[in-house]
Structure 1
């Protein structure tokens, strides 16, 4: 029997020996990470620096992009090191830190999408009272509700897992996963299972209920309103719905990959399933919102034209 305090490291068993292709994999992962950092950071700066974007919707978007950076930074630097390494091990302390980052990202993402759907509900269903309802204090409260409960819940989850007595140290994934560590436990994990199931249910059910209710009300207004109202609903809700569906698919893939026996599935496909919601969402959101939100698109275009103009003037000098 191995006590959890004696487990100094975990071995990640899902990595394959890429040999000559490890540097190609490193370049591809680095490219995706740079794109995620630049695109999300660009939109955060654009929203923060332009007063015309200091509206509730864009503040919630800013919170979403910050979370994309947070989740990506908990995964990509680690993946880059592991791809180049021949020994795929990680210290126990870093493993629990990564679990905290990944799970916090997942919880905050879903709650943030629920808050954004509530914002759209107020804007579409109560346009005249929108500014009265969505005050600066309420915006701050909603952003706090998005982050603080998720961080607290995941902190408890990580602490419970770190206190387990483990009878092994091999995790069959490419990054640290809480459920994989629970499966290594020597003794009864009922407390961990009950808490994780309760926390996961609340994290999913409450935001999902908010999203379902708000979209039912939005659809009522859409069907009973004018053509102009329907166009407004489509233009404002399409990016949010696309992001919600993309994230839901990613989480479903992760649950499918983690909870069920998939030994018959090729290893590379299992890796893809486990990484989808951590990679595609940070890549997808800046593109979706940057292209579909006219204000953001126009400001980014003007900034690009200004930078090109400055480069040309420097070259002429």
Structure 2
């Protein structure tokens, strides 16, 4: 099979959708680049583990958005909505690794906050530049390995159709085109998805439980500072969980019975909301970053 057909019935509103999508994409690029430039290029005092992880989160947002928006913008203006197999699987890989990087980075950031608040005397000896670099490398390798497993099945299944009921390529939309019985694959994929997110969620909840116990025994000033550094991470992680839930619901249920507008909105949620929310939450909430953001008076 040489091409897939993506769901793309935009009608006469295609130019409006194109303008809105281009505006959203430019906003994502601008907001995340401001954080990256502020951390890495404009201020040496921000070369600390917490800000390096925030910068990595913004770079991942740029990576995931670029894996989706350029193709989507082209599709909006095109009368045909075909995507080649290599390009489709490339998009699947980018979006899958984007999700994996996001949840893994949020987990590493939870550990960083745990070490800073619960073990402040040992923080600088634990979170050295070498440790931060090693954690980032492990995040990439761990995610790439998981993505290879997720994408292996769609590449080996015989397909009996080419119409994807999504506006982008993902592993389950391609798997559903298979001629074979998908019961075993469905069970396996459910187990893997649940295990993957349960491990990360359990670790993050454990770190925040320990942080709460420390804050309970500390002064109100200490609690205020801890909340200030933890709140952006809590908001980011909560927003990401909602985004992933929307994606999982679309992947596991029959979307033919759902209003197309709802399908499009839910499909785009995890590709739009986190990349916009993340730099805004960190840029506006953390004074250390806000003080070095260009055009901060506008913010």
Q: 2:158 aligns with which of 125, 149, 165?
A: 165
**Alignment partner of 2:291: what SS?**
helix
Moved more, 256-265 or 132-141: 256-265
Structure 1 residues 200 and 264 mapped into 2: Cα distance closer, same or farther (>3 Å)? closer
Question: Conserved in 1, the CA contact under 8 Å of 2:244 and 2:270?
Answer: yes
Q: 2:214 aligns with which of 221, 242, 245?
A: 221
The 2-side partners of 1:277 and 1:108 are apart by 13
Unaligned runs of 5+ in 1: 1-6, 307-317
Residues 232-291 of structure 1 show CA distances to partners (whole Å, capped at 9, x for unaligned) of: 121011110000111100111111122113444321111111110111100110111000
Alpha carbons 1:157, 1:195 under 8 Å: kept: no
Deviations 1:36-71 (A, max 9, x none): 111111211111122100110011111111110110
Corresponding residue for 1:139?
132
* Superposition deviation, residue 202 in structure 1: 4.1
Q: 1:206 aligns with which of 196, 199, 202?
A: 199
In the alignment, which residue of structure 1 is the partner of 2:119? 126
SS at match of 2:157: coil
In 1, the alpha carbon distance for the partners of 2:10 and 2:207 equals: 48
Does 2:299 align with 1:304? no
Bigger-Rg structure (1/2): 1
Cα distance, 1:257–1:160 mapped onto 2, change above 3 Å? closer
Q: 1:1-317 counterparts in 2 under 5 A?
A: 7-13=1-7, 15-19=8-12, 21-49=13-41, 50-189=43-182, 192-193=185-186, 196-300=189-293, 303-304=294-295
Tell me by how many angstroms 1:162 deviates: 1.4
After TM superposition, the score normalised by the length of structure 1 is 0.89
TM-score with structure 2 setting the length: 0.94
Distance 1:183 1:262 in 2: 12
**Runs of 5+ consecutive residues of structure 2 not aligned to the other structure:** none
CA distance in 2, matches of 1:28, 1:201: 34
Length, aligned pairs only: 296
| TM-superposed deviation, 1:200 | 2.5
What do residues 175-222 of structure 1 show as CA deviations (whole Å, max 9, x unaligned)?
112111111111245775466445424431221121011000011112
Residues 107 and 203 in structure 1, CA contact (< 8 A), matched pair in contact too:
no
Q: In the aligned structure 2, how far is the partner of 1:225 from the partner of 1:305?
A: 33
The secondary structure found in structure 2 opposite 1:252 is helix
